[in-house]
Amino acid sequence: MRIPRPIEIAVPVVCAFLLGAVAMLYPLGLSAAEGPTLRPAEYKPLPVGTVVKYDQWGFHVKSTDGFEIAFRELNVSKWSKIYAIFGRQGSGKYTFVSAATGSESQTMSWNTNLGEKEKTALESLWPLRVGKKVELKFEENFGEGSSGRQRFWDLSLEVVGTEYVELNGLRYPTYVVRIRTFSQDPGLEYVTSPIHEYIETHWYNPDSGLVLKFSRNWLQGSAWESGDDYKLVKVNYPKGTTTHALKGTRAGGASDKALLAEVELQKRKAQEALKAKAASEKARLAEVAKLKQEAEKAIKAREAEMARLKQEAEKAEKARQVEMRGLKKEAEEARKAGGGKTDKVRAAEMARLEKEVEQRHWDSVKDSPELAAVEDYLKGYPKGRYAAEAKARVAVLQRLASANKIDFGNYHALVIGINNYKHLPKLQMAAKDAKAVAKVLKEDYGFKVTLLTDPDHGEIMDAFDEFLETLTDKDNLLIYYAGHGWLNEEVDRGYWLPANAKPKRRRHWISNATITDTLKGLSAKHVMVVADSCYSGTLVRAADVGTRKRGGNYWKEMSEKWARVAITSGGLEPVADKGGGENSPFAKAFIDTLNDNGSVMDGTTMFSKMRRPVMVAAQQTPQYSDVRGAGHDGGDFIFVRKK
C-alpha cells in the first residue's frame, strides 16, 4: 500500500532542492567521516539563468530575492519557489492510491506558504557550520473547497559534518546536512500510509552553491518511485559568472595532496589554538585567584580601618561627654552665682561643641558599609542635622545586607555597538556607548562582558549561539545593542541592522522574532535586552512598568522567577545618536543610573530613574516590558553592585 505518489513537484524533490546554499542531511545511524576543514558557508543563491542537471531531475533558476528562489524543473512548464533552500513554497499535485485496490483513486492539488517564523528559522541555519541545528513546523493545504485538508510537517535540520564527494574521478569538499521529516494525518485512512517519516542527506559544496549528492532513507511510509537518490551530472552558469565555480581535485593528484596538506595544517592550527586557549584559561584562573587574594586583603584592611575609626569615634564621644558635663557644671555654678551673661556664653559654647561632635560622628560613618555604625549615629542624634540622610543610608545597607544572603548567580553581558556600516549611514556614538556600558558593567557590577564593535550578522548570531550553548539557570544575561534599527510597517516587525546589512535586503538583518526565539531558548534565568536603536519599541508592546513593593522577601522571590525583559530607547520613532554629551541621551541615562545605584536595583527601578532624563534630552520615549513569547514568568532583572 502506498501513499500519495507525487505528480509534477513533489515534497522530496523541493525539500531536497539546492540553490545556492543548501543545508544537508545525513542518514539515520550514520556518522560523518573525518572530512575537510571548511569555513562557515554563507548563503549563496545561484545566479539567475543557472541550469543544473542531476541523474534523476534538473532545474532552471528563474529569479532570486534574498532567501527566496524561483525555479522551474526541466521539461516541466510550472514554476515553483523555495525559501533558504529547505522551505517549500508554491503548489503541485498528489495522486492518491487506494488502500483496497491498489489503483489510483484521485488527484489533489497542494499549496504551501511559509510564515515569517518559519522563514526566520530557515535563515538562522546560515552560515553553515558543523553542529548548527534548527527545527520548524509548517502546514500544507491540499484539495479544494469543502473537501480540502491540511497536512502538518515537522522538520529538524542539522549540519552533521564534512565529507569529500567523488564525481567523475574528482573530489569535492562538502558540508553534510541531515533533515529529519515527519508528517502524520490520521484522516487519510483511505491511502496506504498516512505517516511520512524519512531522513534526507545533502552534500553541499560551498564554492559551487550546489548539492552534489542527495539520499533519502524512509523510516515510515512508502518511498516515491524516483528522487530518493541522485547525483550531479552537469551545471551551466550564466556567462560571466565569477561568484560560483565547481572545482574539484583529482584523487591522489598534486592538488589533492596540497588540499590534504592544508587540512593537516588546519588541524595543527586548531590544536595550537586549543593549547593557547588552555594556557589563557590557566592564566585567567591565576589572575582570578590573585584578585581574590587582593580582595580578601583589602577587606581585612577595611575591617581594621573601620575598627580604628570606631575606636576613635568612641574615644571622641567619651571626651565629648566629659567636656559637656564640665560645661554643664560650670553653667550651673554660674547660674547660681547670678552670672546671666556667663551662662549664655557657656550655653552657646555647649551648642557649638554639640554640633562639632555630631559633625565628626557623621563624617566617620556616612560612607561606612557597616549598618551598626550608621544606626549608632541615629541612636545618638534621632533629630540631628543628618538624620534623614542616615535613615536613607540605613535603608540601603539593610537592602544590601538582605541581598548579600541571596545567590543571584553569575552575570554575563553581550554589548554591541555599531558605527561603521558598510552600506548604511555611519553612526558616531554607538560604539563609544557600548564601550562605556561594558566598562561600568565589568568594573562596578562584576559582569563577564563580551564586547562586539561593528560586528556583522554572523558574528552577532555566533555570540547568540555561544550563550545558548553555555549559559545555565545559574546565569543572568544582559544584551545591549546600539546601532541602526528598521521597521517593516507592512508586517509590523522590527529589525536590528548589523554592520553588513544592506537597504531593502533582509539577508543580514536580525529580526525581533530571531531575538525573541533566542531569549526563549536561553537557559539563563534572567535576561534583559537594552536596545538603543530606531523603532526598537517593536520588541515590547504596551509597556506597563507599574509599581512593585520591595519589602520582605522581594529580592529572593525575584531571583527565583524567570525574567525576559527589555528596555528600549524609543517606541515606533527614530532615536537620537547625539545629544547626551559624551554618549547618546539613552546611553547616558543608562550609565548614570548604574553609577547612582549603591546596592541592589531591579529593572523596573532602573527604567523609572532613566525614563525622564531621556525624554527631556531627546524627542523619544523609552519603554519597558517583558518580551512577549520569550518565556517571561513574573521575575525581573536584578543589578547587584559589587564595587
Cα–Cα distance for residue pair 386/393, rounded to 1 Å: 10
What pLDDT is attached to residue 301? 83
- Name the nearest CA neighbour of 479 among 637, 283, 254, 300: 637
Average pLDDT, the chain: 77
- Kindly state the percentage of the chain with pLDDT values over 90: 25
pLDDT-derived band at 442, boundaries 50, 70, 90? very high
Asked, for residue 265, whether it belongs to a domain, the answer is no
pLDDT-derived band at 8, boundaries 50, 70, 90? very low
Asked, for residue 211, whether it belongs to a domain, the answer is yes
Judge if 225 and 308 occupy the same domain: no
SS3 call for 352: helix
The DSSP symbol for 87 reads E
277 contact partners, CB below 8 Å, separation of at least 6: none
Asked, for residue 616, whether it belongs to a domain, the answer is yes
Q: What is this structure's pTM?
A: 0.44
Q: In this model, does residue 62 exceed pLDDT 70?
A: yes
First to last CA, the chain: 73
Asked, for residue 586, whether it belongs to a domain, the answer is yes
pLDDT-derived band at 130, boundaries 50, 70, 90? very high
- Give the range of the structural domain holding residue 567, as residue numbers without chain letter: 410-640
Among 404, 435, 452, residue at a domain's last position: 404
pLDDT-derived band at 328, boundaries 50, 70, 90? low
Judge if 305 and 325 occupy the same domain: yes
Judge if 483 and 597 occupy the same domain: yes
pLDDT-derived band at 501, boundaries 50, 70, 90? very high
Task: Measure CA 496 to chain center.
Answer: 12
Q: In this model, does residue 284 exceed pLDDT 80?
A: yes
What is the helix (H) or strand (E) element at residue 297, kind and residue range?
Answer: helix 254-336
Q: In this model, does residue 27 exceed pLDDT 50?
A: no
Asked, for residue 284, whether it belongs to a domain, the answer is no
* C-alpha distances out from residue 71 to 213, 228, 241, 507, Å: 19, 20, 18, 19
Cα–Cα distance for residue pair 56/229, rounded to 1 Å: 8
SS3 call for 342: helix
Query: Which H, E and C letters describe 229-272, residue by residue?
Result: EEEEEEEECCCCCCCCCCCCEECCCHHHHHHHHHHHHHHHHHHH
Q: In this model, does residue 574 exceed pLDDT 50?
A: no
pLDDT-derived band at 226, boundaries 50, 70, 90? very low
Match 525581573 to its residue by C-alpha cell. Answer: 636
- Comparing 464 with 23, the larger pLDDT belongs to 464
Judge if 389 and 463 occupy the same domain: no
- Which span out of 220-229, 458-467, 627-636 was modeled with the highest average pLDDT? 458-467
Cα–Cα distance for residue pair 615/18, rounded to 1 Å: 51
pLDDT-derived band at 383, boundaries 50, 70, 90? confident
Exposure string for 379-389, b = 16+ CB within 10 A, e = fewer: eebeebebeee
Asked, for residue 314, whether it belongs to a domain, the answer is yes
SS3 call for 10: coil
The DSSP symbol for 223 reads P
What pLDDT is attached to residue 227? 55
Asked, for residue 332, whether it belongs to a domain, the answer is yes
What pLDDT is attached to residue 208? 92
Judge if 125 and 203 occupy the same domain: yes
Among 348, 380, 404, residue at a domain's last position: 404
Judge if 81 and 225 occupy the same domain: yes
What pLDDT is attached to residue 40? 92
Region 518-531 average pLDDT: 90
Judge if 207 and 61 occupy the same domain: yes
- Kindly state the percentage of the chain with pLDDT values over 70: 73
Q: In this model, does residue 582 exceed pLDDT 90?
A: no
What pLDDT is attached to residue 269? 84
Query: Which CATH number fits the domain that encloses residue 503?
Result: 3.40.50.1460
- Which span out of 47-51, 352-356, 406-410, 607-611 was modeled with the highest average pLDDT? 47-51
Sign of CA dihedral 161, 167, 171, 173: negative
What pLDDT is attached to residue 525? 87
What pLDDT is attached to residue 12? 35
Match 532542492 to its residue by C-alpha cell. Answer: 17
What pLDDT is attached to residue 258? 67
Judge if 602 and 512 occupy the same domain: yes
pLDDT-derived band at 139, boundaries 50, 70, 90? confident
What pLDDT is attached to residue 67? 82
The DSSP symbol for 32 reads P
* Number of separate domains in the chain: 3
Cα–Cα distance for residue pair 287/295, rounded to 1 Å: 12
Asked, for residue 500, whether it belongs to a domain, the answer is yes
Q: In this model, does residue 232 exceed pLDDT 90?
A: yes
Q: How does pLDDT run across 177-190, given as a tens digit for each residue?
A: 999 988 876 555 44
Q: In this model, does residue 25 exceed pLDDT 70?
A: no
Cα–Cα distance for residue pair 431/481, rounded to 1 Å: 10
Cβ-contact 215, 229 below 8 angstroms: yes
Q: In this model, does residue 221 exceed pLDDT 90?
A: no
Cα–Cα distance for residue pair 434/414, rounded to 1 Å: 10
DSSP string, 377-427: HHHH-TTSTTHHHHHHHHHHHHHHHHHHTS---EEEEEEEE----SSS---
Cβ-contact 80, 28 below 8 angstroms: no
180 contact partners, CB below 8 Å, separation of at least 6: 25, 28, 155, 156, 197, 198, 199
What pLDDT is attached to residue 90? 62
What pLDDT is attached to residue 3? 30
588 contact partners, CB below 8 Å, separation of at least 6: 580, 581, 582, 613, 617
What pLDDT is attached to residue 593? 93
In 143-209 the beta strands, taken as DSSP E runs, fall at: 149-167, 170-184, 195-205
Q: In this model, does residue 247 exceed pLDDT 90?
A: no
The DSSP symbol for 583 reads B
pLDDT-derived band at 539, boundaries 50, 70, 90? low
Judge if 302 and 198 occupy the same domain: no
609 contact partners, CB below 8 Å, separation of at least 6: 589, 593, 596
Half-sphere exposure (Cβ direction) of 161: Cα atoms closer than 13 Å: 12
Judge if 239 and 344 occupy the same domain: no
Judge if 396 and 421 occupy the same domain: no
607 contact partners, CB below 8 Å, separation of at least 6: 545, 567, 622, 624
Among 194, 228, 249, residue at a domain's last position: 249
pLDDT-derived band at 459, boundaries 50, 70, 90? very high
Region 261-289 average pLDDT: 83
Q: In this model, does residue 484 exceed pLDDT 60?
A: yes
What pLDDT is attached to residue 393? 73
Judge if 315 and 244 occupy the same domain: no
- Comparing 411 with 345, the larger pLDDT belongs to 411
Is the backbone peptide bond immediately before 455 cis, with ω within 30 degrees of 0? no
SS3 call for 58: strand
Cβ-contact 123, 68 below 8 angstroms: no
What pLDDT is attached to residue 190? 44
The DSSP symbol for 625 reads E
309 contact partners, CB below 8 Å, separation of at least 6: 364, 368
